[in-house]
Amino acid sequence: MQVQSPGVAEFIRKNTSKLLGMATIMKHELDSENAFPEENIQISLPAMKSPNPALVLLTSLFVLLLASPLFNGSDSARAQQLLPIVKTNFTQVFIVHLQSPKGSPGLLTSEELNEWYFSYLPNTTLDSGEPRMIHTYDYVITGFAARLTDEEAASLESMDGFVFAYPEKNQPLHTTYTPEFLGLNQFNGLWEHSSQGEGVIIGVLDSGIIPNHPSFADTLKLPPPPLKWRGRCDIPAGSGSCNNKLVGAQHFIVPDLFITPIDDTGHGTHVAGIAVGSPVYNVNLRGLARGTASGMAPSAHLAVYRICQRDLCPESFSLKGIEKSIQDGVDIIQISNGASVEFHLNGNIKGSFRALQKGILTICSAVNKGPTPSLIGNDAPWILTVGAASTGRRNKVMLKLGNGMVFNGESSNEPNPSGNIIDAPLVYPGVIRTNEKLSCQNGSMTGLNVTGKIVLCGRGLTDPVEKSKVVKEAGGAGIIVVNRVWDGDTLWSYSFVIPGIHVTSKDALKIIDYFTIEKNPTVSITFKGTEFGVRPSPSIATFSSRGPSLYNGDILKPDVVAPGVDILSAWPFTPEDSSVKFAFNFQSGTSMAAPHVSGIAALLKKVHPDWTPAMIKSALMTTAYTGDRDKNRITDDASNSGAPANAFAIGAGHINPSAAEDPGLVYDTRVEDYIPYLCGLKWMSPDKMIMITNGAGTCNNKKKMAAEELNYPSIQVSMGSGGKNKTVPRTVTNVGIAKSIYSVTVVEPKGVKVDVNPKKLEFASIGEEKKFTVEINLTGSRPAKDVWEGKLVWMSGKYQVTSPIVIID
């Protein structure tokens, strides 16, 4: 029972000069390759033999600090300001976990529970008059969130019932075409069979909603929400109202932050539109991507919980939002924020475990920290974690250099009519090698003549749209935003305020070479409109976070990938050059991928109301595909070479909604199965178990389970030092044809022998379970690498139930 120790921060503080030196060298090498510093650096140490993993991780973190907009040059004092401080005399919000009072919280009234929580505070208000208590929790955890100093938090250790206290974290926030791309059609298939999700309630925890947007109008004349619904509508007068589509909208009031559910960033509105938006016809952005905008579950009900302020979502708000959504009666929880942290310090993970106990599936974004390995977030096995992939649509823009070289890129600020050509001299402020000039930050055009010219700018440090504003204010005629090496081939349709184009890092180097060699460089930008059937597609977005997880043992994450690049959905702000009343906008991120899956999960919940959250997840995972439109392995944009995506980028594969409706077999996992799994994690302790499960399970006299033994739809195994073989148990449940026989097919990882027993499963009824084991043996002829991949497929005449196999040495 303790207050969190700074741990790694102390190590960094004591070794600042050493780490700073290493990181500066690494950053210099990276900069010399691509000339664009940024906060998101992919670490590569080709010259180092067997680097110490901990040292590489710490040095990598320092590179992120060096390259971030908060770090200037080599000022180590500045780096010190970014590190956690052990003791402070100012207040911050702490999450405080307590043991359940005698008789358990469920036997206390809310008033009695709150009175008990307040007894832990030194007083109820700060000297400023602000209330100390932020939120109290009745269900997701036993505890509260309050403003405390470090010393006040430490003093709680001596009080009966105290478990743990730590400063809350601010979790960062992370479709005219995608229903068609995913095979959804109103006349047949999953949309028809599920009545487009009618009667299912999706709780979206995000930055709020614009309630009067047509995407949330009750145009389909939906019935009232189910009788179990207990939510409320806090939309202020004059801002719209709730209806049978938008059945609830709540906020979590903290003085001087926000007081309504109204969205002021667009993120929550965009996410909600993807998941459950009502159909809106003839939607486009400046004529691009014209079509009908619809959510994945257009007839489902929407409940909104505003937990985010701008682009940050305080953990105390996330916990309260999850608690309220459970109490209100939602069926699916959608969250597009989070970070890669230990389970007991992650509000999404703790809250979603309580949701699971009520039969509610939580879908979360995988976080946007790719392509650096092991920065995946929301990685608990009871969460469905979603990575991002591209689609086959792009808003094509062509760039032609004065020497005749042509490159394709993207943009969403296409002039009307399309085909308009911007032809002008090319200027590159980055020849003056400062962060400001390289990335076209505010003030970077000083001393440069860019009037009437097209300006080349590096991606990073500031938003590309902001870069275009800087160029416009300086008199520039257009902008070219170029990826850095670690940005790979993922392109965004930015809404530049002047004619512009976004191009890949490979093309960026050629453009810069041309500028360097040519005395009078010129360039033209031609807008070609929306293009469909782009190849290769889908591909894994560079920014999508990758496994392996640092915290979940051996559970493959992400679980699946879904469309998350240039998704057109509802938006609260109309473009300056548009007369439309209600806007739609392109956004990219795992934040956009997750609500696609949330909507599909709602459809499956409608078709199969008796399925558990694990069964829904299993159906989506075992029917996912790993081949692109040309039947090749889905590629990874981060490779810069079209290389195949590995399992830590793609998970089980890309979602396939139509197949998920009827998967044949599913891997079910009950709530109680997670207790021995948690007990088996190396970092687990009694206090952490209390924090994660809220006392629902302990490790006393409990058999521990290795992570690979959890009945999960994917198989990831770490052989360990000197390990040559392991046996993994699995159980499948028949949800397909009553009398059926399945035979196993295995694609063995190279150098790995996989033996499945039995090799045939014969079912006599729906709901029948069958067990099998997977024996994994390393051979002496395997390739010299640390990770090997294969797959296991149970096949009948109708079904193929696929599980990826990942072996880590």
Q: Which residues are catalytic?
A: 206, 267, 591
Tell me how far CA of residue 361 lies from CA of 325, 332, 358, 611, 740, in angstroms. 12, 5, 9, 11, 29
Distance of CA 39 to the CA centre of its chain: 18
SS3 content of the chain, % helix, strand, coil (to 5): 25, 30, 45
Main-chain dihedrals φ then ψ at residue 699, nearest 5 degrees: -100, 5
Candidates 633, 630, 636, 631; CA nearest to 649 is 636
Q: How far apart are CA 343 and CA 324, in angstroms?
A: 21
Q: Residues 363, 330: contact at Cβ < 8 Å?
A: no
DSSP 592-641: HHHHHHHHHHHHHHHH-TT--HHHHHHHHHHT-B-B-TTSSBPEEGGGSS
Q: Residues 10, 80: contact at Cβ < 8 Å?
A: no
Q: Residues 728, 718: contact at Cβ < 8 Å?
A: no
Which amino acid, one-letter code, is at 286? R
Which amino acid, one-letter code, is at 386? V
Strands of 277-339 (E only): list them.
280-285, 288-293, 301-306, 312-314, 332-335
What six digits make up the tokens of 368? 């946007």
Q: What is the CA radius of gyration of the chain?
A: 26
DSSP assignment letter at 382: T
Q: Residues 71, 79: contact at Cβ < 8 Å?
A: yes
Tell me how far CA of residue 732 lies from CA of 75, 554, 557, 617, 767, in angstroms. 57, 20, 20, 13, 9
- Residues, the chain, total? 809
DSSP assignment letter at 645: P
CB atoms within 10 A of CB 199: 19
Which helix (H) or strand (E) segment is 804 a member of? strand 800-808
DSSP assignment letter at 185: B
Distance of CA 750 to the CA centre of its chain: 31
Q: How far apart are CA 708 and CA 523, in angstroms?
A: 55
Candidates 43, 116, 49; CA nearest to 371 is 43
Q: How far apart are CA 253 and CA 134, in angstroms?
A: 9
Q: How far apart are CA 140 and CA 137, in angstroms?
A: 7
